[in-house]
Amino acid sequence: MSAQNFWGSKWSYIVGGVMIGIIVSIGFNMTSPGHASQDGNVIYQPASMPPPADPQDLNVANQLSNAFAAVAKDVNPSVVTIFTESTIKMSGQSFNGSPFEQFFGDDFFNHFFQRRSPQGDMKQHGLGSGVIVDSDGIILTNNHVVKDADDIKVRLMDGREFKAEVKGTDSQTDLAVISIDASDLKPIKLGDSDKARVGDWVLAIGSPLQPELEHTVTAGIISAKGRSGVGLSQYEDFIQTDAAINPGNSGGGMVNLHGELVGINAAIATQNGGFMGIGFAIPVNLAKKVMSDILEKGKVVRGWLGVYIQTITPEIAKALNLNRSKGVIVSKVQKDSPAEKYGLKDEDVVIKFNGKDVANSTELSTWVAGSSPDAEITLTVLRDGDEKDINIKLGELTPDKQNLADGTSQFDKVGLTVSNITNDVSGKYHLPDNVKGVVITSVNPNGIAAANGLREGDIVVKLNKSMIESVDQFSDVLNNVDDGDMVLFFIQRGRANLYVAFQMPEK
């Protein structure tokens, strides 16, 4: 039984039980109002009428209702519905001879399935939302709304439709900027998500589930801020809300009672596929940075600190005699990085970023990456039990530095990618315990590494006779090999050890 069917049947049982209880109680006259006396006898008395509503309370409720209505009327024209069309390649897989066919029989498959799925192209349609941020047709939405779309169409609240063009996307924050050929549109007012408070009222506006429900407005509060480690994107600093969000709301606006955009609705946490009171929005301050980079520079530029970090756990806190289990510990400072230049050290515990408490590694990474290169930041760290402020001027995070930060590195010149040995990597390649080196995670079939027999899953133990224990070390050694010189790999493949040597290609 699927989870959805389980919960569906569970709730059916509960409702059915209630109805049976009501019927039985009516039959036995058990629903008369009353209360139990001390001796257990029931004393019956007329039910009292509730007191009339306090006019002052009604006035407050009406004020809030009027505020919701005014904000919805003002903001709704700035929210759009986005339709996408994508092409999916069909492989034409067959069920012939499968265990399913053997179990269910030919008649079952002939009745419910085609013998072979369709081949060729299939069109897939998507629905999402967006917000107008410029009167000349600039629209902010989610990356996952427009990702891989062959055709994008935008519908305004007045019913007009326009073909849209992607100006730029950022998968690491799940944001995208698109544009339509229109003018005199009503842009949304951009707020300040740093000033938004837990408990503040917000409205979510978008097009949930189907086009006929476009411009749906729901209300709730900000339930939490700074949600990270959710696993939805590389950089996370979500605003959590209980305003109802459903599929199709993605890319729509979360606004405060001043009609200001404070977040871009992005996702929900659910056990049944529908809204369960937990929705997430990308803070508008992060969205503004990404959007301005895309429009002004054609790409997103990010700050670079140059450290390997991990979240402080209760066990690490206990081992380090810390009185807190929040923050991040620096496990390694990268060579020639801003962190090294300005004096950050291994085992420093970062507890604050520009005065804001740091909860975990994802949060710190998001704040650093959300800063501009050359930005000056202040990290508050615990070092040998003492609290210390370190002022650092950030560098720019480039793809090669990003790969190193992620524990991987790609070497196009020789045609391979290597990764640090993590639990996930060990599990994927069934590596022996306590093995040291780096793992080759991909090999370009047309590259020189493949031509000389290197394979995915090989463990590089030595490179040019130097012991290798990290991607950093591998990168340092390989990048110091001149064009035309020989390079020597010592690898472990299963139970075998072997050498592989070849000449570095010349430019």
Give the Cα separation of 300 and 172 in Å (integer): 10
User: What three-state secondary structure class fits 264?
Assistant: strand
Residue 482 bears catalytic tag: no
Pair 269, 246: CB distance under 8 Å = no
Residue 12 bears catalytic tag: no
Catalytic residue among 78, 129, 144, 371: 144
Residue 250 bears catalytic tag: yes
DSSP alpha helix (H) spans, 309-418: 314-319, 338-341, 361-369, 399-405
Q: ∠ CA(391), CA(395), CA(397), 5° rounding?
A: 130
Amino acid symbol at 141: T
DSSP state of 373: T
Query: Under 8 Å CB-to-CB from 353, ≥6 apart: which residues?
Result: 364, 367, 368, 377, 378, 379, 380
Taking CA atoms, 462 is separated from 203, 410, 483, in Å, by: 58, 18, 20
User: What three-state secondary structure class fits 64?
Assistant: helix
Closest to 133 (Cα-Cα) out of 292, 297, 258: 292
Catalytic residue among 174, 237, 293, 458: 174
φ, ψ at 260 (rounded to 5°): -100, 140
* Adjacent-strand bridge partners of 253: 205, 264
Catalytic residue among 78, 250, 419, 475: 250
Which contiguous run of DSSP H or E holds residue 284?
helix 284-297
Helices first, then strands: H and E counts in the chain = 13, 30
DSSP state of 258: T
Rg, Å, the chain Cα set: 30
Pairing of strands 151-155, 79-91: antiparallel
Give the Cα separation of 9 and 284 in Å (integer): 41
Which contiguous run of DSSP H or E holds residue 183?
none
Residues annotated as catalytic are 144, 174, 250
